[in-house]
Structure 1
Amino acid sequence: MDGTNLIIDCDVHPSASKERPLDPYVPVAFREALKQGMAAGPGQGYANPFGVDRRDASCNDPQQVALDHLDKYGISYGVLQPPGLGVSLTHNIDMGSALAQAWNEWQLAEWLSVDLRYLGSVCVNTSDPKRAVELIHQYGKHPQMKQVIVSGESVDLYGHRRYFPIFAACEELGLPFALHPGREGSLRSSTSVGRPSSYFEWHTGIPLTYQAHVISMTCEGVFAAFPGLRVVLVEGGIAWLLHTLWRLDKNFKALRSTTPWLKKRPSEYILDQVRLTTQPLEEPENPEHLAQVFAMIQAERTVCFASDFPHWDFDDPRRVFPRTLSSELLQRIFYDNAAELYGLPTRAKKEKEGGEVTS
């Protein structure tokens, strides 16, 4: 962590447990439906053969996670990515919205109340936009709820106008709209030309989902219509964005008449309004190549650190970045970019409070 001493981790995965179950937070009217299996969703079909979690870590006890993760690495804030991020895929729409509410209540009671360093994500059912907006207003005003979270798999690409009320609510409350993978392939193939045959293939291809959503949101005018909206792409990699920016700008020269709502180059909208997390970070043989990618995507404002704790591809903040990156850039990635994104105390304020930790 050379050159930085404050960290915001944008990807921490809490899980329900016997001690902290979800069931008590499900609205009373839906508990019987839950028992009857009404929370079912489409199967995705890809599982890590070795398990998703590390064998030496778990994330079901907020006090233990504070010791094993926040304290150990000097993390000022950890952004929770709750299991409820995939509720939009629940077959029964009302049950999906009830589960979204339950996961929000669960976060408040079981995690956010335990340690102020935990930041929550508002779960919504995008198949029920009206109720999703209500939940955003209900939970998004809590000081520790810092974003709205959904799955990368969706009924429609996120540029579709059915989602505009959700984006309007996010913009109104200043909450980023975050995408997280995990259920790609549930509704259709996770690639445009056929289904992968293994978790290895599926996991490697996750950036395809994000590329499709970013292109859709740009061309359909989401960023133009909601200039205050910020979109966070969690666990989707980094380098793919370059190709997408270049191709969009190239095609815009000839096809801009088909998107009259775009008043500037697509890349300008994306660099202004899209943020990416580092995990899983590409690891080229020549570290300088990664530094070049960072420069070209303006990482000093677009990239935020994420560890993916406690999953198998966890990134240790002490070792994740090439030593050639400047201390100024590391400060931006480790803390400043996310602090600005989520409206958190500035670096100067944290250091004044004694928030610094040693490398």
Structure 2
Amino acid sequence: MTFQIFDADRHVMEPLDLWEKYLDPEVYQAYPIKVVQDNPLAQQDRVERLGHRGDLALPPVFVVGDFPLLNNWSEEIQIASAMQDKGNRAERVAAMHPESQLSSMDDSDIAIAYLFSTFAGYVVNHECLPAEVSLAYADAYNRWLKDYCSVDPDRLKAVGLLSRHDPTTLCSQLNQIIENGWSSICLRPEVIAGKDFGAPEYIDFWAKCEKHNISVVFHGGTNLHAPTAGTHRFQSRFALHACSHPMEVQMAFVSLLESGVFERHPTLKFAFLEAGASWLPHWLWRLDTICYPEFPSLVADNIKMLPSEYFKRQCWVAIELGEPCLREVIETVGHEKLLYGSDFPHPDHMHFTTEDIAKQLGVLSEEELKDVLANNAQTFFN
């Protein structure tokens, strides 16, 4: 049995030359994205220090201005990355261009894809960049993405990227998203530039999102140059990758909840991607039964019903193929709140496949599968 699939979390790979073409020239001159290539002398030095483990060419390292693009991107991680580099090179190249992106979608029975950045989010949210530079990079990426999706706007759906360095610019950025005809935006779940989602500077922004029916997606990632769950405790890729995605979206939900964003904007829609869904039963149970009843007077102004009720009313979450507890998730929030996302072409999800997807999601009925694989995404992304 085949199902129509709407991929709620698919990525582009930004070609390096897009920045010279789309970025403000003054910003590009002052804060260009550069590639630092490995060289034979460096490789020889690694062999002398590390033996045969160092005897391979490392992937290029990206730098924006004078700052490395990725945080905690150690030599050990670079070596491990080089060992697996060829495993998904074809997919990464395919994601650079709309025509090959569409072809890869056909190969996986993807009817429609909602597209997110790979590198631009790391630039736009980089804590070392001035606000005006972050804003310029977000604008350049969105203009490039608009051209990218114009090749087949019925199948390639842009998710706008916003800069949070200066929250006073959020509404004007949203105006451009609306003018583009886009219905969704992507935000990192972390605290950026010292502001979480309940900050007073965000009040008008949330109201504008609700007024214009703009859906808000939270999508995290590892190795960002900004405080992320785990970065004050770990340096290894293993630990950072374990913490960043699921823990940050849980805290983003609490930020929206306790600051009253859900209460003030009951029709505003949010989705939490690439963190799985199995955290929901425990997290909502804890909020409902331990945190919410403890001191009701402390939250009475902003939380007027059970936290789980807010989630069921206005939140969605992406599942991972093969993850446990999906039936418990459905019992908690309903199957209508589940989305499917491939994370194509990122290497940590390349072992997942849409082949036999009905068998992989055997806990779902046929009607539930249709909703999770397509209908729910249509509802969330408008």
Give me the TM-score of the superposition, normalised by structure 1: 0.83
User: CA separation of 1:106/1:39 partners in 2, compared to 1, >3 Å: closer, same or farther?
Assistant: farther
- Using the TM superposition, name which of 4-13 and 208-217 deviates more: 4-13
Please give the alpha-carbon distance, in whole angstroms, between the structure 1 residues aligned to 2:256 and 2:3. 35
Gaps of at least 5 residues in structure 2 are 34-63
What do the CA deviations read for 1:52-107 (whole angstroms, capped 9, x no partner)?
A: 87244121111011112x21233221011113334133521000001110010010
- 1:154 corresponding residue in structure 2: 191
Matched, 1:273 2:309: no
- 2:101 corresponding residue in structure 1: 65
Q: Quote how far apart the aligned CAs of 1:169 are.
A: 2.3
Which fold has the larger relative contact order, with Cα–Cα distance below 8 Å and residues 6 or more apart in sequence? Answer: 1
Matches within 5 A, 1:196-235: 196-205=234-243, 206-235=245-274
Please give the alpha-carbon distance, in whole angstroms, between the structure 1 residues aligned to 2:380 and 2:285. 25
Select 1:257's aligned residue among 272, 289, 297: 297
What do the CA deviations read for 1:17-72 (whole angstroms, capped 9, x no partner)?
A: 25x6222111244232234955847752155733687244121111011112x212
User: CA separation of 1:43/1:61 partners in 2, compared to 1, >3 Å: closer, same or farther?
Assistant: closer
- 1:120 corresponding residue in structure 2: 158
Please tell me the residue identity of whatever aligns with 1:201: A
Q: Quote how far apart the aligned CAs of 1:303 are.
A: 0.9
Please tell me the residue identity of whatever aligns with 1:23: E
Q: Quote how far apart the aligned CAs of 1:253 are.
A: 1.8
What do the CA deviations read for 1:140-196 (whole angstroms, capped 9, x no partner)?
A: 3323x231112233323323333233322221221111111124663335238x422
Q: CA RMSD in A?
A: 2.5
Please tell me the residue identity of whatever aligns with 1:54: N
- Aligned residues: percent identity? 23
- 1:24 corresponding residue in structure 2: 21
Q: Quote how far apart the aligned CAs of 1:122 are.
A: 1.3
- 1:352 corresponding residue in structure 2: none
Select 2:327's aligned residue among 292, 298, 315: 292
Q: Quote how far apart the aligned CAs of 1:311 are.
A: 1.4
Please give the alpha-carbon distance, in whole angstroms, between the structure 2 residues aligned to 1:223 and 1:187. 26
Matches within 5 A, 1:1-359: 2=1, 5-17=3-15, 21-35=18-32, 38=65, 40=67, 43-46=70-73, 49-50=80-81, 54-58=88-92, 59-68=95-104, 70-82=105-117, 83-86=119-122, 87-90=124-127, 91-109=129-147, 111-116=148-153, 117-143=155-181, 145-155=182-192, 156-183=195-222, 186-188=225-227, 190-191=229-230, 194-205=232-243, 206-250=245-289, 251-260=291-300, 261-278=302-319, 280-281=320-321, 283-284=323-324, 290-312=325-347, 313-314=349-350, 315-320=352-357, 321-343=360-382
User: CA separation of 1:118/1:81 partners in 2, compared to 1, >3 Å: closer, same or farther?
Assistant: same
Other structure's SS at 2:159 match: strand
- Whether contact under 8 Å (1:44, 1:186) holds in the other structure is yes
User: CA separation of 1:266/1:129 partners in 2, compared to 1, >3 Å: closer, same or farther?
Assistant: same
Please tell me the residue identity of whatever aligns with 2:234: P
Other structure's SS at 2:179 match: coil
The count of corresponding residues between Structure 1 and Structure 2 is: 330
Please give the alpha-carbon distance, in whole angstroms, between the structure 2 residues aligned to 1:234 and 1:39. 31
- Whether contact under 8 Å (1:189, 1:195) holds in the other structure is no
What do the CA deviations read for 1:249-273 (whole angstroms, capped 9, x no partner)?
A: 1121232211122221111011212
Other structure's SS at 1:126 match: coil
User: CA separation of 1:225/1:40 partners in 2, compared to 1, >3 Å: closer, same or farther?
Assistant: farther
Other structure's SS at 1:57 match: helix
Say which one has the larger Rg. 2
Structure with the higher fraction of residues in helix conformation: 2
- Whether contact under 8 Å (2:4, 2:109) holds in the other structure is yes
Please give the alpha-carbon distance, in whole angstroms, between the structure 1 residues aligned to 2:115 and 2:66. 22
Other structure's SS at 2:282 match: helix
User: CA separation of 1:189/1:34 partners in 2, compared to 1, >3 Å: closer, same or farther?
Assistant: closer
User: CA separation of 1:89/1:162 partners in 2, compared to 1, >3 Å: closer, same or farther?
Assistant: farther
Other structure's SS at 1:276 match: strand
- Using the TM superposition, name which of 242-251 and 311-320 deviates more: 311-320
Please tell me the residue identity of whatever aligns with 1:62: P
